[in-house]
Amino acid sequence: MRLRKVIRRTNRLVTSKVPSLKVGRVIACESRAEKHFVYRLDLDPTVVTFTEQPAEIQYPVDGVLRRHFPDFLVQRTTGPEFVEVKRAVDAARPEIANRTAILTAALAAQAIGYRVVTHEEIEAQPGLGNVRRLIRCRTTPVDPANADAVVAAVDVSFAMRLGDLVAGGFSRETVLSLVANGRLWLDIDVTITPETVIKRRCAQ
Protein backbone atom coordinates (compact mmCIF):
# COMPACT_ATOMS: atom_id res chain seq x y z
CA MET A 1 0.00 0.00 0.00
CA ARG A 2 1.31 3.43 -0.90
CA LEU A 3 0.37 6.82 0.46
CA ARG A 4 1.14 9.93 -1.56
CA LYS A 5 0.62 13.50 -0.40
CA VAL A 6 -1.51 15.56 -2.75
CA ILE A 7 -1.56 19.34 -3.10
CA ARG A 8 -5.04 19.67 -4.55
CA ARG A 9 -7.89 17.47 -5.63
CA THR A 10 -9.39 19.39 -8.55
CA ASN A 11 -12.71 17.53 -8.60
CA ARG A 12 -13.44 18.28 -4.94
CA LEU A 13 -16.91 19.79 -4.56
CA VAL A 14 -16.64 22.28 -1.70
CA THR A 15 -20.05 23.10 -0.23
CA SER A 16 -18.91 25.03 2.84
CA LYS A 17 -15.82 26.43 4.55
CA VAL A 18 -15.50 26.05 8.30
CA PRO A 19 -13.12 28.10 10.46
CA SER A 20 -11.30 25.76 12.84
CA LEU A 21 -9.88 27.05 16.11
CA LYS A 22 -7.79 23.92 16.57
CA VAL A 23 -6.18 23.99 13.12
CA GLY A 24 -6.06 27.77 12.84
CA ARG A 25 -7.45 28.00 9.32
CA VAL A 26 -10.56 27.45 7.23
CA ILE A 27 -11.41 23.80 6.44
CA ALA A 28 -13.10 22.98 3.10
CA CYS A 29 -16.04 20.57 3.46
CA GLU A 30 -17.97 18.63 0.81
CA SER A 31 -21.17 18.12 2.80
CA ARG A 32 -23.14 19.31 5.79
CA ALA A 33 -22.08 16.15 7.63
CA GLU A 34 -18.40 16.97 7.01
CA LYS A 35 -19.02 20.48 8.35
CA HIS A 36 -20.50 19.10 11.56
CA PHE A 37 -17.69 16.54 11.79
CA VAL A 38 -15.13 19.37 11.68
CA TYR A 39 -16.95 21.07 14.55
CA ARG A 40 -16.82 17.79 16.47
CA LEU A 41 -13.09 17.49 15.87
CA ASP A 42 -12.61 21.03 17.16
CA LEU A 43 -14.53 20.15 20.34
CA ASP A 44 -12.88 16.74 20.90
CA PRO A 45 -10.09 16.90 23.52
CA THR A 46 -8.44 13.75 22.14
CA VAL A 47 -7.86 15.45 18.76
CA VAL A 48 -4.54 17.29 18.46
CA THR A 49 -4.95 18.47 14.87
CA PHE A 50 -6.49 17.40 11.55
CA THR A 51 -6.53 18.17 7.85
CA GLU A 52 -8.93 17.55 4.98
CA GLN A 53 -8.14 15.54 1.81
CA PRO A 54 -4.71 14.70 3.27
CA ALA A 55 -3.38 12.04 0.88
CA GLU A 56 -3.98 9.63 -1.94
CA ILE A 57 -3.95 5.99 -0.85
CA GLN A 58 -3.30 3.34 -3.48
CA TYR A 59 -4.41 -0.20 -2.68
CA PRO A 60 -4.86 -3.42 -4.69
CA VAL A 61 -8.19 -5.13 -5.35
CA ASP A 62 -8.09 -8.33 -7.40
CA GLY A 63 -4.77 -7.32 -8.92
CA VAL A 64 -5.96 -3.83 -9.86
CA LEU A 65 -4.47 -0.78 -8.14
CA ARG A 66 -7.23 1.48 -6.82
CA ARG A 67 -7.00 5.08 -5.62
CA HIS A 68 -8.69 6.52 -2.56
CA PHE A 69 -8.75 10.04 -1.12
CA PRO A 70 -9.89 9.81 2.53
CA ASP A 71 -11.76 12.86 3.76
CA PHE A 72 -9.63 13.59 6.82
CA LEU A 73 -6.41 12.71 8.57
CA VAL A 74 -6.93 13.13 12.31
CA GLN A 75 -4.01 13.22 14.72
CA ARG A 76 -5.29 12.03 18.08
CA THR A 77 -3.47 11.73 21.38
CA THR A 78 -3.49 7.98 20.69
CA GLY A 79 -2.07 8.30 17.17
CA PRO A 80 -3.14 9.14 13.58
CA GLU A 81 -6.22 7.90 11.75
CA PHE A 82 -7.76 8.44 8.34
CA VAL A 83 -11.49 9.11 8.39
CA GLU A 84 -14.00 8.79 5.56
CA VAL A 85 -17.40 10.46 5.99
CA LYS A 86 -20.27 8.71 4.20
CA ARG A 87 -23.98 8.05 4.40
CA ALA A 88 -24.69 4.71 6.07
CA VAL A 89 -26.27 3.32 2.90
CA ASP A 90 -23.11 4.15 0.92
CA ALA A 91 -20.77 2.80 3.61
CA ALA A 92 -22.63 -0.52 3.43
CA ARG A 93 -22.16 -0.93 -0.34
CA PRO A 94 -19.98 -4.02 -1.02
CA GLU A 95 -17.18 -2.12 -2.77
CA ILE A 96 -16.99 0.47 0.02
CA ALA A 97 -17.22 -2.09 2.82
CA ASN A 98 -14.49 -4.13 1.10
CA ARG A 99 -12.26 -1.06 0.77
CA THR A 100 -12.82 -0.22 4.43
CA ALA A 101 -11.80 -3.73 5.49
CA ILE A 102 -8.67 -3.68 3.30
CA LEU A 103 -7.51 -0.25 4.45
CA THR A 104 -8.30 -0.89 8.11
CA ALA A 105 -6.10 -4.00 8.13
CA ALA A 106 -3.30 -2.63 5.96
CA LEU A 107 -2.97 0.73 7.72
CA ALA A 108 -3.06 -0.91 11.15
CA ALA A 109 0.24 -2.54 10.23
CA GLN A 110 1.65 1.00 9.92
CA ALA A 111 0.12 2.08 13.25
CA ILE A 112 -2.42 4.25 11.42
CA GLY A 113 -6.15 3.97 12.02
CA TYR A 114 -8.84 3.97 9.35
CA ARG A 115 -12.59 4.19 9.84
CA VAL A 116 -15.80 5.32 8.22
CA VAL A 117 -17.99 7.74 10.15
CA THR A 118 -21.56 7.94 8.85
CA HIS A 119 -23.69 11.02 8.35
CA GLU A 120 -26.21 9.44 10.67
CA GLU A 121 -23.65 9.12 13.50
CA ILE A 122 -22.48 12.71 13.07
CA GLU A 123 -25.98 14.16 12.94
CA ALA A 124 -27.50 12.06 15.72
CA GLN A 125 -29.14 13.90 18.60
CA PRO A 126 -28.44 15.24 21.14
CA GLY A 127 -24.89 15.53 19.79
CA LEU A 128 -25.77 17.62 16.74
CA GLY A 129 -27.83 20.05 18.79
CA ASN A 130 -25.03 20.39 21.32
CA VAL A 131 -22.45 21.01 18.60
CA ARG A 132 -24.58 23.74 17.01
CA ARG A 133 -25.20 25.36 20.38
CA LEU A 134 -21.54 25.34 21.36
CA ILE A 135 -20.42 26.77 18.03
CA ARG A 136 -22.86 29.66 18.52
CA CYS A 137 -21.33 30.18 21.98
CA ARG A 138 -17.90 30.82 20.47
CA THR A 139 -18.81 34.47 20.00
CA THR A 140 -20.28 34.99 23.49
CA PRO A 141 -18.38 37.87 25.13
CA VAL A 142 -16.54 36.64 28.25
CA ASP A 143 -14.59 38.77 30.67
CA PRO A 144 -11.02 37.34 30.81
CA ALA A 145 -10.88 37.50 34.63
CA ASN A 146 -14.23 35.71 34.89
CA ALA A 147 -13.08 33.08 32.39
CA ASP A 148 -9.90 32.44 34.40
CA ALA A 149 -11.99 32.11 37.56
CA VAL A 150 -14.21 29.45 35.96
CA VAL A 151 -11.17 27.45 34.80
CA ALA A 152 -9.59 27.79 38.25
CA ALA A 153 -12.78 26.54 39.88
CA VAL A 154 -12.80 23.47 37.65
CA ASP A 155 -9.10 22.96 38.38
CA VAL A 156 -9.74 22.55 42.10
CA SER A 157 -11.49 19.21 41.66
CA PHE A 158 -10.53 18.58 37.98
CA ALA A 159 -14.24 18.28 37.14
CA MET A 160 -17.43 20.07 38.22
CA ARG A 161 -21.10 19.88 37.37
CA LEU A 162 -22.46 22.70 35.25
CA GLY A 163 -25.15 23.36 37.85
CA ASP A 164 -22.55 23.76 40.60
CA LEU A 165 -20.60 26.28 38.53
CA VAL A 166 -23.78 28.28 37.89
CA ALA A 167 -24.67 28.10 41.59
CA GLY A 168 -21.17 29.41 42.32
CA GLY A 169 -21.91 32.59 40.43
CA PHE A 170 -20.74 31.78 36.91
CA SER A 171 -23.18 32.11 34.04
CA ARG A 172 -24.13 29.10 31.93
CA GLU A 173 -23.23 31.09 28.81
CA THR A 174 -19.72 31.79 30.11
CA VAL A 175 -19.07 28.12 30.86
CA LEU A 176 -20.34 26.99 27.45
CA SER A 177 -18.30 29.69 25.72
CA LEU A 178 -15.16 28.34 27.40
CA VAL A 179 -16.06 24.84 26.18
CA ALA A 180 -16.67 26.15 22.66
CA ASN A 181 -13.35 28.00 22.65
CA GLY A 182 -11.30 25.07 23.87
CA ARG A 183 -10.54 25.85 27.50
CA LEU A 184 -13.01 23.40 29.02
CA TRP A 185 -14.65 20.16 27.86
CA LEU A 186 -17.94 18.28 28.12
CA ASP A 187 -19.38 15.16 26.50
CA ILE A 188 -21.16 16.57 23.45
CA ASP A 189 -23.14 13.36 22.87
CA VAL A 190 -25.07 13.73 26.13
CA THR A 191 -27.85 16.28 26.70
CA ILE A 192 -26.50 19.38 28.43
CA THR A 193 -28.17 19.77 31.84
CA PRO A 194 -27.15 21.07 35.29
CA GLU A 195 -25.74 17.55 35.88
CA THR A 196 -23.35 17.82 32.91
CA VAL A 197 -19.75 17.32 34.00
CA ILE A 198 -17.34 20.06 32.94
CA LYS A 199 -13.64 19.14 32.73
CA ARG A 200 -10.36 20.72 31.78
CA ARG A 201 -9.58 20.51 28.06
CA CYS A 202 -6.79 18.00 28.64
CA ALA A 203 -9.30 15.41 29.97
CA GLN A 204 -9.24 12.06 28.17
Q: Give tens-digit pLDDT for 155-176.
A: 887 899 999 999 999 999 999 9
Alpha carbon distance 27, 52 (integer Å) = 7
Share of the chain above pLDDT 70, in %: 92
Helices (H), the chain: 32-43, 88-91, 94-108, 119-122, 127-137, 144-157, 162-167, 172-180
Alpha carbon distance 70, 115 (integer Å) = 10
pLDDT surpassing 60 at residue 10: no
pTM across the whole model: 0.89
pLDDT surpassing 80 at residue 6: no
Q: Give tens-digit pLDDT for 23-45.
A: 999 999 999 999 999 999 999 99
Alpha carbon distance 35, 31 (integer Å) = 6
pLDDT confidence band for 15 (50 / 70 / 90): confident
Q: How much is the CA Rg of the chain, to the nearest whole Å?
A: 19
Domains of the chain, CATH where assigned: 2-122 (3.40.1350.10), 140-200 (1.10.10)
Over residues 123-152, the mean pLDDT reads 95
